[in-house]
Chains A and B, each alone.
Chain A
Amino acid sequence: MQLRITPTIEDHRVAKLAALAIGIHVLESILPSPIPGVKPGLANIVTLIVFLLYGLNSAVWVSLLRVLVGSLIIGTFLSPTFVLSLSGAIASIGVLLIISKLERLEISAIGIATLMALVHVMSQFIVVYVFFIPHNAVFSILPIMMTAALIFGFFNGILAQKITERIRL
């Protein structure tokens, strides 16, 4: 007996968008940063745009595929980097899940992106504290990282809004 899997249009779409997110994820990993750990988080823009255009389900797929395949390409699979990447992605998905339940809430890409970025970094610090470095000194750098998250989240939100507008036209 032969097992046949027929990919739907949605499967194709998820695959293409995940590939785009993975590309950005890998490119971003080679960008130098003045402060270790500070990244613009451009790959998360893809997750957000997918959420706005195609809904939560596709966004979850794109986000988790990006973390998995991205780590395989960079070579960080199952390393602490991967764990942090995954926890950030899961936390961001959590934000999207809550927002998708609150349909009456009028919130644009800018608000969602800011929330996602903050929750992303916050979750990573909790994971670092619980699993890797259980010392209060870890949190000394939290304010700086959260400031970066706030700024990048805001600008990513603007980018996501612009891109979504153009795609919808």
Chain B
Amino acid sequence: MIETTRTDKLILFGSVLFVLFLYYFFWVGSSEAKQVEIFVNGEKRYVYNLAENNTVHVDGKIGESLIEISDNKVRFSHSPCSSQFCVRSGWHEHSGGFSACLPNGVSLHLTGAEKIYDAINF
């Protein structure tokens, strides 16, 4: 038989609650992006507020990418590239989110209130 004391049960209950809270805190509530930065060929070309619905036409290396901003989310709605990975990556809404169309040289960077590094490598 498994023996648990009252303290054990309290710890287990608290732990489950804590983990559920982590899901809520890191997956649902936080890290909403505030704005999207659109880069063309590695240069920051436009910055848009995600609160305003918009459709942006961006001229890239091989043609025009359509970027749709709606409901605090952003996506590539049309792209001239053959793979269409950027379109299929769908909507992005979290700060730190990223989407790119490499053939056309267009990328989206979602930023929140503060912007910090991607990574530090040793």
Residues of A within 8 A of B (CB): 80, 105-108, 110-111, 114-115, 118, 132-137, 139-140, 142-143, 146-147, 150, 153-154, 158, 161
CB nearest to B20 among chain A residues: A143
CB nearest to A117 among chain B residues: B15
* Docked-complex contact A140 and B26, CB < 8 angstroms: yes
* Docked-complex contact A135 and B116, CB < 8 angstroms: yes
Chain A residues with CB below 8 A from B122, complex form: 80, 132
Inter-chain CA distance A107–B15, complex, in Å, is: 15
Inter-chain CA distance A154–B94, complex, in Å, is: 33
Of the candidate stretches B4-12, B36-44, B54-62, B75-83, the one touching chain A is B4-12
Chain B residues with CB below 8 A from A108, complex form: 3-5, 8
5 nearest A-B pairs in the assembled complex, by CB-CB distance: A111-B8, A111-B11, A143-B22, A143-B23, A106-B5
* Docked-complex contact A114 and B3, CB < 8 angstroms: no
Q: List 25 A-B contacts (CB under 8 A).
A: A106-B7, A107-B8, A108-B3, A110-B2, A110-B3, A110-B12, A111-B8, A111-B12, A114-B11, A132-B119, A133-B119, A135-B118, A136-B112, A137-B96, A140-B26, A140-B27, A142-B26, A143-B23, A146-B19, A146-B22, A150-B16, A150-B19, A153-B15, A154-B12, A161-B3
Inter-chain CA distance A82–B79, complex, in Å, is: 45
Inter-chain CA distance A129–B95, complex, in Å, is: 16
Among residues 65 to 122 in chain B, which have CB atoms less than 8 Å away from a CB atom of chain A?
94-96, 112, 116-120, 122
Inter-chain CA distance A161–B3, complex, in Å, is: 8
Q: B46 on the interface (CB 8 Å rule)?
A: no
A80, A105, A110, A161: residue with the most chain B Cβ atoms closer than 10 Å? A110
Given A118-B15, A118-B19, A150-B16, 5 new contacts (CB under 8 A)? A110-B12, A135-B96, A142-B26, A143-B22, A146-B19
